Structure 1
């Protein structure tokens, strides 16, 4: 059995209206609305639109204070705000100069061993690390897919590649964050090496960070398109470099194109990932790209093994 209201309703009011609670901040205002965060009743003047529903002014202020405190912690740790890739942007690039230092140190080692800054490919360390498909298949030296990305033919080769890495890497590292930048860099390097191994001359040595750097070019183009900037400069740089790769002798076009395509695909996963489970989606796409490249390498390995078996009469 229902009970009547404690007092008769005023003219123009119903019993249902009298039963509504008052706003937490304005008790004299009845409301059927509530904050999605604290569930307190609130009138429209005391509510603010949030990503999901509406929050009261107290919860909005609390959330802002928490975000500000978190931002202070990030700044103290050397980080900035989150980027379109979902990364907490570092205030300064660290991975890029570290990669440059590693490449320069490797070049210096080969130059010292060869006793020549321009003919360092004669160095033992260079010969053991260059991408040489036949040698990889015969000796199972699969590390060459990675080590070849840190070797360079002479001073001009490394100078040009390190300059490009410095120009491209700094901005992309800030945009992607350090972990994602490392992932894009190395999957691009692997893409360039896999393309050379799968489609190139099996008895020709190839080396250089160009596969990774072209991957950064592809990533930069995707980032420019995602941020809705003018892509003319990025497209122009890529076209010029591809034309040079085709026209100049001794340059691995396959390594460049392989890195470019893989880097662009990896960047698509980074900046177009759904907001929900962004990190898991990005990791999953990178894993799929890597698995596809591994499959390509294994297929080419089987093909070369069969050819060498016939040539050497070891079948």
Structure 2
């Protein structure tokens, strides 16, 4: 029986690798970013993220279904928007606004927003409290807090370079969830492993989460992994060799970002929304568990 182009039963090529849905005899590891059908180099049409098949570019699935153009989706199932960098711009603006506020108000604002597990008792007492005393908001506010110009410049460059493509690939809601969970993951690991009276601040945990997510996405799209691996190694070397770096935030953000991104881009199409929600929920529960256990250690 002949198979129509795009059938999910399109046979694999001779080597066992999936064959192009239009040219089944040609092996390929690349799939359309919309319909996920395997496509060979002759059928690849470059898109904002990855490649699309000719049918999706024309706005038809090839199966008599409604045109894809009426419901464009990203590889993670998010809605394709006119400005795929909007959330990245908002996050960048929030970080810059808090930085300006610190310049105006001074160290008092840093004392109130930085991540601190527990303030030491008198005579070293500073008139404020930490996460262990119930100020859990510090786990999030510290992610948007910077003091040094070089620190915010480095992080915002990373946010712009990594965040834009990820936002376009995941969609706004998924991208925002990834960013916030990565930042919280970095804060949670810092709270758990760093000294309770050691302040920590910066968006580095969230940026490392974007870096981990970029690696996952590039692997999912079968792109050359060497550039992102080199970038990751360089950042890890920088993390463990530069003074006054909260390596816990970097590692925590990296692990959470990679895990959340994996659940988002590898979720099966028929259960995509459920798997993605569960992935984010599990990551959040893990973060809460770490914070809760550490709080018991400090207050018990």
Check whether TM > 0.5.
yes
CA distance in structure 2 between the aligned counterparts of 1:287 and 1:276, rounded to whole angstroms: 19
- Which residues of 2 match residues 33-48 of structure 1 at below 5 A? 48=4
Alignment counterpart, residue 104 of structure 1, candidates 96, 102, 106: 96
Q: Which has the higher helix share?
A: 1
Q: What secondary structure does 1:88 align onto? A: coil
Q: Are the counterparts in 1 of residues 186 and 205 from structure 2 also a CA contact under 8 Å?
A: yes
Which consecutive unaligned segments of at least 5 residues does structure 2 have?
Answer: 10-59, 119-128
Structure 1 residue matching 2:186: 3-state secondary structure: helix
Larger radius of gyration: 1
Q: 2:113 aligns with which of 129, 138, 144?
A: 129
Deviates more, 1:189-198 or 1:152-161: 152-161
1:263 is aligned to 257
- In structure 2, how many angstroms separate the alpha carbons of the residues matched to 1:305 and 1:213? 31
Write the mapping of 1:1-315 to structure 2, written as runs, cut at 5 A.
48=4, 51=7, 63=64, 66-67=66-67, 70=70, 81-92=72-83, 93-114=85-106, 122=107, 124-134=108-118, 135-306=129-300
TM-score normalised over the length of structure 2: 0.75
**Shift of residue 50 of structure 1?**
6.4
Give the whole-Å Cα distance in 1 for the aligned partners of 2:131 and 2:100: 28
Provide, for residues 275-306 of structure 1, a one-character-per-residue CA deviation record: whole Å limited to 9, x for no partner: 21201111011101110111111001000112
Are 1:194 and 1:258, in contact at CA under 8 Å, matched by a contact in 2? yes
Note if contact 1:89-1:176 (Cα within 8 Å) is conserved in structure 2: no
Aligned length: 239
Normalising by structure 1, we get a TM-score of: 0.71
Larger relative contact order (C-alpha < 8 A, sep ≥ 6)? 2
- Report the Cα distance in structure 1 between the residues aligned to 2:230 and 2:208, rounded to whole angstroms: 13
Deviation (angstroms), 1:69: 5.8
Shift of 1:234: 0.5
Which runs of at least 4 in structure 1 moved beyond 6 Å after TM superposition?
A: 59-62
Distance in 1 separating the partners of 2:68 and 2:235: 44
Q: Which runs of 5 or more residues in structure 1 are unaligned?
A: 1-43, 54-58, 72-80, 115-121, 307-315
Q: Is the 8 A contact 2:219 2:225 kept in 1?
A: yes
Change in CA separation of 1:163 and 1:61 when aligned onto 2, cut-off 3 Å: closer
1:43-64 deviation per Cα after TM superposition (whole angstroms, max 9, x unaligned): x99x9566579xxxxx988945
Shift of residue 251 of structure 1?
0.8
CA RMSD of aligned residues (A): 2.2
Query: C-alpha distance in 1, partners of 2:63/2:234?
Result: 52
Q: Which residue of 2 aligns with 1:35?
A: none
Q: 1:69 to 1:184 in 2, by over 3 A?
A: closer
- 1:83-126 Cα shifts (integer Å, max 9, x gaps): 22122232421000110001000000110112xxxxxxx2x222
Q: Indicate how the Cα distance of structure 1 residues 51 and 256 shifts in structure 2: closer, same or farther if over 3 A, else same.
A: same
